[in-house]
């Protein structure tokens, strides 16, 4: 997506931690301009106090949604209705859904069918169908490595006519996504098949594929980010898997399935 692509961010405040909003916005800025920012929930609920503290700082519009009946999530319905309205009434290039709720899976599939990308953010408890449906999905736990005491969110408040900075309790420290070792990675059949097929699709006659081309091929078919496996870059993940040969030519990285070399040596 271009730097000036238009993105709408819809937040399921009932199922998302407010403490990670800064990292979410920073990540989304890589894809374009977040012109629409909305957070949905019952703002009378004490559980949303954390979100109330950051709404103004990050220009997020709160959308009030009462729970019409016990056990039913009216917030989900409100988000779906607004997402469809945005899909047909705005010149958007992508929609971001911040939630850990798999109920949004059909919505994601509908948006993507219209040619828009869907970027998802959720906690590691997010069910796989929602993760896989998105164009790209990132676990909130992987977005930052913050040491205790390093980060706090400041908000401004006015009291008795005086404007002063008010410190909000810092977000809990992030536990970085643990790096999965080679044995675990190789045991992930879905991952290894994805990597091998992407290399095969981008490879030349000798089996070598430019890593950039491999990454592009993966992005076209799956929701994938090496950070969800604990690796900052795709190159690092390939090295950790241990099933591929790597080489660098004029600062360009190339990768080849070790099976290709074995097959040719016979």
Give me the CATH number covering residue 201.
3.30.420.610
Quickly state the pLDDT bin for 178 (edges 50, 70, 90): low
Are 11 and 124 found together in one domain? yes
The reported pLDDT for the residue numbered 126 is 93
Q: Give a yes or no: residue 71 inside a domain.
A: yes
147 pLDDT exceeds 50?
no
User: What per-residue confidence (pLDDT) applies to 2?
Assistant: 53
Residue 16 CB partners (closer than 8 Å, separation 6+): 98, 99, 100, 121, 122, 123, 140
% of the chain with per-residue pLDDT over 90:
42
Tell me the pLDDT band of 170, cut-offs 50, 70 and 90: very low
Predicted confidence at residue 163, as pLDDT, reads 33
Domain region containing 87: 6-142
**Predicted confidence (pLDDT) at residue 180 exceeds the cutoff of 90:** no
- CA angle, 194 then 198 then 204, to 5°: 150
The CATH number of the domain holding residue 11 is 3.40.50.1010
Looking at the fold, whether 196 and 128 belong to one and the same domain comes out as no
Identify the residue with better confidence: 207 or 160: 207
pLDDT bin (cut points 50, 70, 90) of residue 3 is low
| Angle at 146 (CA atoms; ends 15, 211), nearest 5 degrees | 85
- d(C-alpha 197, C-alpha 193), whole Å: 6
Q: How far apart are CA 77 and CA 83, in angstroms?
A: 10
Q: Do both 201 and 95 map to the same domain?
A: no
What is the CB-side half-sphere exposure of residue 120 using CA atoms within 13 A? 34
Q: What pLDDT score does 45 carry?
A: 86
Please report the pLDDT score of residue 158 as a whole number.
32
Please check whether residue 244 lies inside any domain of the structure: yes
Chain centroid to Cα 222, Å, comes to 13
**Residue 97: inside a domain:** yes
CA proximity to 137, closest of 17, 220, 32, 223: 223
| pLDDT for residue 261 | 66
Residue 150 lies in a domain: no
Q: 108: part of which helix (H) or strand (E)?
A: helix 105-113
Residue 8 has pLDDT above 70, yes or no: yes
Asked whether residue 36 falls in the same domain as residue 92, the answer is yes
Q: What angle do CA 33, 38, 39 make, to 5 degrees?
A: 135
Task: Compare 89 and 40 and report the one with higher pLDDT.
Answer: 40
User: Where among 110, 127, 142 does a domain terminate?
Assistant: 142
User: pLDDT digits over 66-121, tens only?
Assistant: 765 554 477 888 999 999 999 988 789 999 999 999 999 999 999 999 999 999 99
Is residue 12 located within the same domain as residue 136?
yes
Q: Tell whether 15 and 110 lie within a shared domain.
A: yes
Residues 134 and 228 in one domain: no
Closest CA to 97 of 73, 119, 74, 125: 119
pLDDT tens sequence across 199-243: 988 899 899 999 988 888 887 777 788 888 888 888 998 999 899
Asked, for residue 175, whether it belongs to a domain, the answer is no
Number of domains in the chain: 2
Cα–Cα distances in angstroms (integers) from residue 148 to residues 82, 123, 133, 155, 180, in the given order: 37, 20, 34, 20, 24
Distances (CA, A) of 97 to 118, 133, 139, 212, 259: 7, 12, 12, 27, 39
Domain C-terminal end among 110, 142, 174: 142
Q: Please give the average per-residue pLDDT across 185-193, as a whole number.
A: 87
Q: Between 153 and 260, name the one with better pLDDT.
A: 260
Q: Are residues 24 and 127 in the same domain?
A: yes
Confirm whether 152 is domain-assigned: no
Residue 93 sits in the same domain as residue 195: no
Residue 99 lies in a domain: yes
The torsion angles phi and psi of 249, rounded to 5 degrees, stand at: -130, 115
Last residue of one domain, picked from the residues 142, 173, 192: 142
- Cβ atoms of residues 98 and 16 within 8 Å: yes
Q: How far is CA 130 from CA 86, 179, 208, in A?
A: 20, 23, 33
- Residues ≥6 apart with Cβ < 8 Å to 244: 195, 199, 238, 255, 256, 257, 258
Q: Does residue 12 sit in the same domain as residue 83?
A: yes
Q: Are 115 and 225 members of one domain?
A: no
Residue 133 located in a structural domain:
yes
Q: Which of the 8 DSSP states describes residue 3?
A: T
């Amino acid at each position: 997506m271009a730097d000036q692509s238009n993105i709408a961010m819809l937040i399921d405040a009932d199922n998302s931690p407010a403490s990670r909003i800064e990292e979410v916005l920073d990540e989304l800025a890589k894809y374009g301009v977040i012109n629409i920012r909305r957070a949905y929930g019952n703002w009378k609920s004490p559980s949303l106090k954390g979100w109330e503290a950051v709404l103004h700082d990050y220009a997020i519009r709160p959308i009030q949604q009462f729970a019409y009946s016990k056990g039913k999530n009216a917030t989900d319905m409100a988000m779906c209705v607004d997402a469809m309205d945005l899909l047909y009434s705005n010149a958007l290039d992508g929609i971001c859904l911040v939630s850990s709720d798999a109920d949004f899976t059909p919505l994601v599939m509908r948006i993507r069918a219209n040619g828009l990308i869907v970027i998802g953010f959720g906690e590691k408890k997010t069910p796989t169908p929602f993760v896989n449906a998105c164009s790209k999905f990132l676990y909130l736990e992987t977005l930052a490595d913050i040491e205790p005491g390093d980060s706090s969110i400041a908000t401004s408040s006015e009291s008795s006519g005086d404007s002063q900075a008010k410190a909000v309790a810092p977000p809990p420290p992030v536990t970085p996504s643990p790096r999965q070792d080679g044995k675990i990675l190789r045991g992930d059949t879905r991952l290894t098949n994805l990597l091998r097929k992407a290399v095969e699709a981008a490879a030349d006659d000798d089996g070598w594929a430019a890593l950039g081309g491999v990454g592009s091929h993966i992005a076209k078919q799956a929701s994938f980010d090496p950070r969800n496996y604990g690796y900052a870059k795709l190159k690092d993940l390939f090295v950790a898997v241990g099933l591929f040969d790597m080489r660098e030519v004029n600062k360009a990285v190339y990768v080849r399935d070790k099976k290709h070399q074995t097959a040719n040596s016979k």
